[in-house]
Amino acid sequence: MLNWFVTGVSSGLGRAIAKAALAGGDQVIGTVRCQADAEAFTALAPGRAHAMKLDVTDEAAVGVVWRTAEQLFGPMDYLVNNAGRGFTGAIEETSLEDARALFEVNLFGPMALIKSALPSFRARRSGHIVNVTSVSGLAAWHGTALYGATKFALECLGRTLAQEVAPLGIKVTNVAPGGLRTAFSAERLAGAEPTIADYAETAHLARATLQGHLGAEPGDPDRAAAAIVSALAAPEPPLLLLLGDDALKYATAEFAMLEGEIVRWQDLTLAIAAEPAAVAAE
């Protein structure tokens, strides 16, 4: 029986991941924000589903909860950084206060958990860190700059971490879903205020699109969770796992655009080469 620590299991993908792990006979320590959610989660599999209250932006609490989980339930095999919030709005409309708050949840919270997990993972020379990012962390989309920026940052954090911990037997996987049929857009999506009319045809379309597709998103969260569990069990798990045909489409288009820009401007890129250094005469 493996031990999973999954943040944000009250609903959505986090709950689906927890249910998939429980269905496989594993034990899940899931974080929630209120008592009602804690009771609902533990009822999924009494004795193997354990809820712990946690606000991931409380750095001190993160360390305490992680240590308590390992003391009560044994060493963790997986850390799944799933908890997060969405945000739409033009960059000009977004306050720095809102931007900082979003980074606290979507980047610094996961980082605090990673830092809490690494000492025990290093000691055992094992463990797997899973970061739920987003296709918006790979492909820019007007109206989602700040949300995308947090996910771009988490993508970089995960990829760099993978390089640092690979020699220690620790694995890292970034999971980048597209749209999933959850309540995320209804319950976890904030917006910039006040709005500016000039962005009606660009940045404001993001929120309208997300809410217009509510309940009709292309991805099934339970199938996404099954895909994640399957990928993590592979002998060589992926560093990046895209989920959904929309994620594949947007990421592929973004990478093709970037490759095109690199090729188109490569002459200027190479034009800055310095002259060879003079060799001092003996």
Question: Catalytic site residue 78?
Answer: no
pLDDT value at residue 188: 66
pLDDT value at residue 208: 86
We report the CATH number of the domain holding residue 201 as: 3.40.50.720
Q: Which stretches within 166-282 are classed as H helix?
A: 184-187, 204-212, 221-232, 245-264, 266-270
Confirm whether 152 is domain-assigned.
yes
Q: What share of the chain is helix, strand, coil (3-state, %, to 5)?
A: 50, 15, 35
pLDDT value at residue 282: 60
Burial class (CB in 10 A: 0-12, 13-18, 19+), 247: buried
pLDDT (tens digit, 9 = 90+) per residue, 172-198?
999 999 999 887 766 668 999 999 999
pLDDT value at residue 182: 85
Mean pLDDT of 250-274: 98
Is there a contact between 251 and 223 (Cβ–Cβ < 8 Å)?
no
pLDDT (tens digit, 9 = 90+) per residue, 58-116?
999 999 999 999 999 999 999 999 999 999 999 999 999 999 999 999 999 999 999 99
Confirm whether 282 is domain-assigned.
no
Confirm whether 22 is domain-assigned.
yes
Please name which of 123, 130, 125 lies closest in space to residue 161, comparing C-alpha atoms.
130
For the chain, the domain total comes to 1
Please name which of 159, 172, 154, 183 lies closest in space to residue 118, comparing C-alpha atoms.
172
pLDDT value at residue 214: 78
Active-site annotation holder among 78, 147, 199, 250? 147
Q: Residue 23 pLDDT more than 80? A: yes
Indicate the pLDDT class of residue 280, thresholds 50, 70 and 90: low
pLDDT value at residue 277: 84
Confirm whether 92 is domain-assigned.
yes
Please name which of 85, 12, 95 lies closest in space to residue 55, comparing C-alpha atoms.
85
Confirm whether 278 is domain-assigned.
no
For residue 128, the cross-strand partners are: 78, 171
The domain in which residue 66 lies consists of: 3-270
Mean residue pLDDT of the chain comes to 95
Confirm whether 100 is domain-assigned.
yes
Q: Which has the higher per-residue pLDDT, 182 or 221?
A: 221
Mean pLDDT of 208-222: 84
Burial class (CB in 10 A: 0-12, 13-18, 19+), 271: exposed
Confirm whether 279 is domain-assigned.
no
Helix (H, G, I), strand (E, B) or coil at 123: helix
Radius of gyration for the chain, computed over Cα atoms and rounded to the nearest angstrom: 21
Confirm whether 174 is domain-assigned.
yes
pLDDT value at residue 184: 74
